[in-house]
Amino acid sequence: MSSIGVIGLGAMGSAMAHNLVKAGHDVVVWNRSDGPADALVAAGARRAATVAEALRAPVVFSVLSDDGAVAATFLDSGVLAQAAAGTVHVNLATVSAELARRAEAAHAEHGVGYVAAPVFGRVPVAEAGALNVLAAGEPALLDRVQPFLDVIGSRTWRLGDRPEQANVVKILGNYLIACAIQSLGEAVSVAEGAGVDPGQFVELLTSTLFPGPVYTGYGSMIAERRYQPAGFTTLLGRKDLHLALDAAAGQNIPLPIGELLRAVFAEAIADGRGADDWAAIAERQPRATGD
């Protein structure tokens, strides 16, 4: 039995922790609120009273929301100085390249290994242990944590020896999803205006030209105007879009579609759709029916 800490028990973190428990690992969990930790303890995990206590495990996963949460929890709190010698921290959050560089340096200063491992896949995929894991960091550290990554994912993509590389790939993947959502919204709007059934239109596209989960899943949501429950909110989508724009700006590479999307996300959030699934940005397009 191997010991692993899991910090951050939102829907994704809870799913990963449950799978690690089911795989027979000794799982130590910490969360700001008690409810998710209670459910994991009932399933066989142990509760850590503090982040520092969770960092006593030889491998620690963190599944937090953004740069601010990661910085507050690990970089600005002094907690890394209390980590057990040789601990490896696997950060599964979608964070900026800048934050990844800062985190790698801070962990190295305290003798703590640092790996980035953001994932592709929504909560049902996490529950099935079938995530695609985007991993980057020192090869020896990746080898150490690979058995745990094998529990949460169907494949680990090793993308480089600098943690920021995994974060940039994740950011760009989400950027392309946002582009697909916008183009789907545009196409559905025009087809619907011509009297074509939007559901049939999406079925045709995803059965022929654009098979795959992005066009199928988001196309259906747009056709049905179904944006709750949100698998990934518009607010989080805007955050990741801005990360993509920042990464490109750091290389002096323009993202013209990204600038369009910046305005689209701002308008969608101003319309009150921040808590809706980010497919709701399609509602910025004129529709033949509705409000």
Alpha helices in 44-162 (DSSP H): 51-54, 67-70, 97-109, 123-127, 139-152
Task: Give the bridge partners for 5, in sequence order.
Answer: 28, 60
Nearest to 93 by CA among 103, 85, 84, 83: 103
- 3-state secondary structure at position 77: coil
* CA–CA gap between residue 42 and residue 4 (Å, rounded): 17
As given in the structure block, the two tokens for residue 121 are 């896949």
Residue 170 designated active-site? yes
Which of 107, 144, 170, 284 does the annotation list as catalytic?
Answer: 170
23, 151 in Cβ contact below 8 A? yes
Distances (CA, A) of 3 to 83, 91, 114, 265: 14, 17, 17, 41
* CA–CA gap between residue 51 and residue 5 (Å, rounded): 9
Q: What's the one-letter identity of residue 193?
A: G
DSSP state of 82: G
Tally of residues, the chain: 291
116, 169 in Cβ contact below 8 A? no
Q: What are phi and psi of 130, to 5 degrees?
A: -120, 25
Angle between helix axes 139-152 and 11-22 (nearest 10 degrees) is 90
Q: Which residues are catalytic?
A: 170
